[in-house]
Each structure stands twice: as C-alpha cells, then as structure tokens.
Copies of this chain bind each other. A is one copy, B any other.
C-alpha cells in the first residue's frame, strides 16, 4: 500500500482511536450506562468511520487511479480533482 505509507502513521492513529472508542462503548454497556450516552458514542464512532473512509477513498484515487497534482494528462488530472472534491463534499 505504497501510496498510504506516508499517511500510514496517521491512519493507524485514527484506527486505534476508534478501537478505543469501541472499547469505551463496551465498558459503558457492561456498566449499564444511560442509553443516550451509548447512542451518542455510536453516532460519534460512525462519524469518525465516515471521515476515515472518505480519506481512504481519496488516497486510493491519488495512489492508484490518478493524482490531480502530478498526472501528465491534464484532462485526467482535472477529472480526478473534481472527483476528489465531490467525495469530500458528499462524504462529510
């Protein structure tokens, strides 16, 4: 996964943070925490997962399809830049 090697440390940190959030959810469930607390935890992990997925899609486009900054074909560079913009907007 060469194209994410540079981001690897950052991605790993995000995945580990989410694992920590799920561990906190597990503890809260076991301790009988109020329902809305569990619910807010779940909504928060889902939001984080959405953000991570959007970033992985962007990384994939740049690394394995076309990089808007470096692609030698100007049409494809433009198309890839527009694609990344819409992914960012759409998968907020």
Q: Which residues of A contact B (CB under 8 A)?
A: 1-5, 8, 11-12, 15-16, 18-19, 22-23, 25-26, 29-30, 32-36, 38-40, 42-43, 45-46, 49-50, 52-53, 56-57, 59-61, 63-66, 75-76, 78-80, 82-83, 85-87, 89-92
Task: Give the distance in Å from the alpha carbon of A58 to the alpha carbon of B8 in the complex.
Answer: 27
Q: Which residues of B contact A89 (CB under 8 A)?
A: 40, 43
Q: Are B39 and A53 in contact (CB under 8 A)?
A: yes
Contact A66/B63 with A12-B30, A86-B40, A92-B92 known, Cβ cut-off 8 Å: no
Count of identical protomers in the assembly: 4
24 A-B Cβ contacts within 8 A? A1-B33, A1-B34, A1-B35, A3-B35, A4-B35, A4-B38, A15-B26, A19-B19, A22-B22, A38-B56, A39-B57, A39-B60, A39-B86, A40-B89, A42-B52, A46-B90, A53-B90, A57-B83, A57-B90, A64-B82, A65-B66, A65-B79, A66-B66, A66-B76
